[in-house]
Structure formats: C-alpha cells, structure tokens
Amino acid sequence: MAHEQLIDDVKNIHTDYMRLSGEQNPFLTTRLKTRIKLRFKNDLIDKITNKKKLEKTVSKNISRTRDVSWSRIKSLMCEEGQQDIMEAYRSWLFSISLDILLLNMIIKHKESGMNELYRLYNLPIKSYIAKNLFGKKGTEFFASRCHDLMMETFQRFERYAGNFNPYKGSLFSYLISVADHLIKDETTRPETLTPDFNEHDEDEAAPVFWAVSSDLSPDQLQEKNAKERFLLEQIILEGGYPWQILVVLLTKTTDDRTDITRLSDLSISNLFLEMKNAFSKSSFHEEDELNPIFKPLEKSLCLPLKEIIPSKDHRSRTVMEGQLDKTLGELPLKVFFGKDPLKTIRDWNHRVLKRVRKKVLES
C-alpha cells in the first residue's frame, strides 16, 4: 500500500513538473529561434525560410528538452540567495535545449554544430586541461601540450558524438570526461615520467632591476632567428602534404581563420604566393631569406598529385581519384577541404604541428 502511494505521489509530481516546464514554451521558442537564425543560418536555411519547418524543429526540440530536464532535475543549481529562481530554471532549460540542438547538428555532420560547440567550450576545456595536466606551467611546451589535448578532445567527441546521452549529463560534462581520459593518457607517456622534460630551458628569467632593457641582445636575436628558421624548415619538410602546410603557415599570419576559407577558390600556386607574401610581412623575414626555405614546397607545386599522395594512402587517393593526373599547382584549395573547411583547417593544424613537434623532440 505504501509503495502504491509513493508511485502515485511521483506521478503527481511528474504531472506538475511537466505543466511547469510547459509554461516555459514561449521563452524557449523565442530563444531557440533567435539562436538558430544567429548561429545556424547556413545549415538550416531551409527551415528558417519555411515557418512551418522552423516551428516543427523548435517544437520537437522543446518536447525532448522537457523529458531530458525531468531526468536531470537534480543538476538544477540555484545560487544561494538568488531571488528569481524561475530565471535560473529557464536558463537551465535553455542550456539543455541548446545541447540537444548542437547534438543533432553534429550527428548530422552540419559544420556549424561543431563550430558553435568549439566557440562555447574551447577556452573552458583548455583551462581545465591546464589545471589538471602534470607539467611546468607557464612554459611554451606546456601551453602547446594543453592546446593539442584541447583539440584532441573536440576531435574525439566528434568521432563518438553518437555515444553521448543527454539524459545523463550536459555536453560540457561529457567533454570534460573526454579531456580527463586524454590527461590520464598523457601523464603515462614515457617523457612525462621524467621531471621537467624539455621544459627546463624555457624558464623565463625576470630582470633583476627595472632599468634593465628587455630587448634581446644580438646573440639572443640571432639564436631566436635560427630557431624560427629551423622550425619553419621542419614544418615544410616534415609537416605533411603541401596544401596542408600552406594553410597551416597562413593560420600563423591571421587571427581569423575564415580569412583562409575565403581563399578556397585560389589555385595552390596562387595560394603559395599569397602565403609567402603574408608570411614575409608578418614574420619580418626578408623574402630573399625565405626563398631557399620555401624551395621544396615550391617544387612540389609542379608535380602531378599522384606523385605527391603515396600509394599506401588509399583513403586520400580514393577521395582525389578524379584529380590525380592534374598538377598540384593548378588545383583550387577547395578540392582539399571537406564539408566543413574550418574543421579541416583545425585538423591540419593539429596534425602538422604534431608531426613537427615529434620530429623536433627526436632531434
């Protein structure tokens, strides 16, 4: 009898809760429509221009949001002393509906889904990794490791996005769990078991007196230029395919990667000239100094694509099957981009710099 009463009480509570969550439909509808039009316009243009489709998409999202919120009601947190509890509740509901919207976009391979997820959480994830990763904080080596792990977190999430269950937690908590596993893997690598590996020479010695000049001495400047030249040579020789190297070098000359996507119609030869010009201006290296370094890259532009992609790379050869007999320099950049150019640029940066870092550590 007591169990039956308990079940009835739970049913009544559930009914009351669903009624309460239903009252928030106008708020969620307005917020979702605004977010879709603002952030997902390109991928959902057919739904935005068709009111019935937009209403159906929003209604379906809100219905699932109410179900998910009931299963996660324990995660609703209100700050102590907060007077407007309903405001906190509505914000919490919207965060769940946004998670569901992002998940649907990512599973359907819509590029704006991963772009928005990255925009929202790349800095919190990187901060979490920096806080929990073993190493000497404040060094370039440590910052590079944190960035690599942050990129790997998003790439791994995209690969296994179908495993995420919104009824169990938020997208952010899932990303944190992925980052946790990567941190554990990183701390068991052989080089991380040795204290201060590759970091002892990165300590920044602060000047003793305020009057000491912070400018580099001639010897330090020469050493810095030699290091930059060495790293640039390694990127070109060991970074991977020429089009990947060109794009990675261009990312070092601009803060906005959409600038590079706008160059997608350029041929690889013209892109090479664009990169060399931009790199010369931003790095303060003379073009005559850069020409010998870029020579191997320039030579590869005259080769047919089939001589650049090795026979063992079956996937790339299959994707580029119709272009293999063409000269690399004649091909436009866009043939090498996937459905999401920004994601492709992120992947190329991660892969190229990972190869170069490995080569530098070996040397």
Q: What is the pLDDT of residues 150-180, one digit of tens each?
A: 999 999 998 888 888 999 889 999 999 999 9
More confident residue, 20 or 153: 153
CB 359 within 8 A of CB 351: no
How far apart (Å, rounded) are the C-alpha atoms in residues 283 and 194? 34
Phi-psi region of 48 (alpha: psi -120 to 50; beta: other; left: phi over 0): alpha
Which are the contacts of 213, defined by CB distance < 8 A and separation ≥ 6?
none
How far apart (Å, rounded) are the C-alpha atoms in residues 74 and 76? 5
332: helix, strand or coil: strand
Largest CA-CA distance found in the chain, in angstroms, rounded: 90
Q: How far is CA 54 from the centre of its chain?
A: 28
Q: Is the pTM of this model over 0.75?
A: no
CB 248 within 8 A of CB 235: yes
**Which class does domain 110-199 fall in?**
mainly alpha
Domain boundaries, the chain: 1-74+87-108, 110-199, 216-362
Tell me the C-alpha to C-alpha distance, in Å, between residue 295 and each of 228, 250, 326: 17, 17, 21
Residue 304, strand partner residues: 327
For 262-312, what is each residue's pLDDT tens digit?
888 889 998 888 888 877 776 656 677 778 888 888 889 899 988 999 888
267: helix, strand or coil: strand
